[in-house]
């Protein structure tokens, strides 16, 4: 299928080189693969179109013969694979030659806020684990402590990386700024980027003597006990996020810890929203005449009064015995009544049923 390079860049066939360059920058910025929502395929098409239309000789042959002109013994084919395919050796701006270097680095500055903004904060890795709790613990909440091995701040130097009592000196590489500014010259103009100083890792200071335990890193891998406050009413499969309890990193912020909660099913109760549901088997005589049944709830034993003449699958509601909604409010306990019919009747029972039948019951 023939490609229309003008259409790919969104310009007219009469567009000037400056208009083509501006259109290319706009489209490349939009489709760059390193950008969220980028499209590598479209980005390569933009790359290809710009290389053809920004070169007078290639553009002339393309206008005359179409996309297949390079197979007709004309100019050499373009290189694919990202920005590396550009040939800007003859590009000049006001008589000044530019060293374009790696265009991936140039666009990276735009996509990561490098244009004179703040240096990206170093952040540790997020980690995850999972724990098993009982149905009752999920309903009422519980505090659990777990041991987890991860990279944590050094307890000897409290993450500073310095030996106790050691003097801290201003970093000579960044003059105490914690970041280093660099200016790159490109066909887009001068681009200023900021990166964290690799010597002091953004702190602006370096110790005279390093901590013996962590060797100046400020962090080390160790086993740590973590307390998890599991809220009342949590559901099976829900995640709890503990901010700053993930992997630590030298002179940066720690990542987060995610805990998946697995709830053990209960043999009696099931959860429906903030209500608890259970089944209760009744004898036929109790269903007809009424009775009182002891029930073991999550709060302890209660007695439930079964009214006369209940129907199969009728539901009794016990208020306030369900899942907590707030500190002062709870859902209800729903009791589904199952009337258990006898498999075989004695002669006496048959006579009694016959009497009931005569009375139209």
- Domain positions in the chain are 5-87, 270-358
3-state SS, residue 26:
helix
- Give the separation between CA 10 and CA 2, rounded to whole angstroms: 16
CATH class of residue range 5-87? mainly alpha
pTM score of the predicted model: 0.58
Asked if 176 contacts 170 with a C-beta cutoff of 8 angstroms, the reply is yes
For residue 202, the model assigns a pLDDT of 76
333-340/275-283 β-pairing: parallel
CATH class of residue range 270-358? mainly beta
Q: Which residues of the chain have a pLDDT value below 70?
A: 1-2, 34, 67-121, 186-189, 361
| Whole-number average pLDDT of the chain | 81
How does 151-161 read in b/e, with b if 16+ C-beta sit within 10 Å? Answer: bbbbebbebbb
Burial class (CB in 10 A: 0-12, 13-18, 19+), 148: middle
For residue 144, the model assigns a pLDDT of 95
Count other Cβ atoms within 10 Å, centred on residue 145.
Answer: 8
Which of the 8 DSSP states describes residue 143? E
- Give the separation between CA 205 and CA 6, rounded to whole angstroms: 53
- Give the separation between CA 119 and CA 131, rounded to whole angstroms: 37
β-bridge partners, 263: 133
For residue 188, the model assigns a pLDDT of 60
Taking only the tens place, the pLDDT of each residue in 211-243 is: 889 888 889 999 999 999 999 999 999 999 999
Asked if 285 contacts 294 with a C-beta cutoff of 8 angstroms, the reply is no
Asked if 124 contacts 246 with a C-beta cutoff of 8 angstroms, the reply is yes
Taking only the tens place, the pLDDT of each residue in 276-306 is: 999 999 998 899 899 999 999 999 999 999 9
For residue 66, the model assigns a pLDDT of 73
For residue 102, the model assigns a pLDDT of 44
3-state SS, residue 42:
helix
% of the chain beyond a pLDDT of 70:
82
Quick one: tokens of 69?
Answer: 């002109």
3-state SS, residue 97:
strand
313: left (phi over 0), alpha (psi -120 to 50) or beta: left
């Amino acid at each position: 299928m023939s490609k229309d390079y003008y259409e790919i860049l969104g310009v007219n066939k009469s567009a000037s080189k400056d208009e083509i360059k501006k259109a290319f920058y706009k489209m490349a910025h939009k489709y760059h693969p390193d950008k969220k929502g980028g499209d590598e395929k479209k980005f390569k098409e933009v790359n290809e179109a710009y290389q053809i239309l920004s070169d007078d000789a290639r553009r002339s042959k393309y206008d005359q013969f179409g996309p297949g002109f390079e197979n007709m013994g004309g100019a050499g084919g373009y290189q694919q694979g990202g920005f590396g395919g550009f040939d800007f050796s003859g590009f000049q701006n006001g008589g000044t030659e530019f060293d374009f270097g790696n265009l991936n680095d140039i666009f990276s500055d735009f996509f990561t806020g490098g244009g004179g903004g703040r240096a990206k904060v170093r952040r540790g890795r997020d980690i995850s684990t999972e724990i098993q709790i009982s149905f009752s613990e999920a309903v009422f909440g519980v505090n659990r402590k777990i041991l987890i091995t991860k990279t944590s701040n050094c307890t000897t130097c409290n993450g500073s990386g310095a030996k106790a009592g050691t003097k801290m000196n201003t970093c000579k590489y960044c003059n105490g700024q914690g970041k280093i500014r660099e200016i790159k010259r490109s066909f887009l103009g001068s681009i200023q980027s900021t990166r964290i100083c690799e010597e002091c890792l953004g702190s602006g200071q370096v110790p005279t003597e390093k901590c013996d335990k962590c060797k100046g890193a400020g962090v080390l891998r160790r086993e740590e006990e973590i307390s998890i406050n599991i809220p009342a009413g949590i559901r099976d499969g829900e995640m709890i996020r503990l901010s700053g309890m993930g992997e630590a990193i030298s002179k940066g912020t720690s990542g987060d810890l995610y805990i998946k909660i697995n709830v053990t099913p209960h043999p009696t109760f099931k959860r429906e929203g903030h209500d608890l549901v259970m089944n209760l088997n009744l004898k036929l005589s109790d269903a007809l005449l009424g009775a009182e049944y002891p029930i073991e709830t999550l709060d302890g034993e209660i007695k439930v009064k079964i009214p006369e003449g209940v129907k199969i699958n009728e539901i009794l509601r016990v208020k306030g015995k369900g899942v907590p909604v707030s500190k002062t409010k709870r859902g209800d306990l729903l009791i589904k009544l199952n009337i258990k019919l006898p498999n075989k009747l004695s002669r006496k029972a048959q006579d009694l049923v016959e009497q009931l039948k005569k009375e139209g019951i």
